[in-house]
Amino acid sequence: MKITIIGAGNVGSSVAYALILREIANEIVLVDINEDLLYAKELELTQSIAALNLNIDLLCTKDYT
């Protein structure tokens, strides 16, 4: 299942992390216009995925089209 989250702030990144922990989606897309915030959250979430040894694709982008 692919889930897209609009907004990479505290709520959006927490939702993404919860999805990762529960292994609900095999693909998560995080969309935000703030590229610096996106990069930071992408780094945190990909490290979490690797530490948990999960097979989840994470895409972080500012383009939602």
Number of domain units in the chain? 1
What CATH number does the domain containing 7 carry? 3.40.50.720
Domain that holds residue 48: 2-61
d(CA 16, CA 47): 13
**What letter would DSSP give residue 31?**
E
Specify the pTM.
Answer: 0.90
Q: What is the pLDDT of residue 43?
A: 97
Residues in CB range of 13: below 8 A, 6 or more apart: 30, 41, 44, 45
d(CA 56, CA 10): 20
**What letter would DSSP give residue 1?**
-
Residues of the chain with pLDDT under 50: none
Q: What is the pLDDT of residue 65?
A: 72
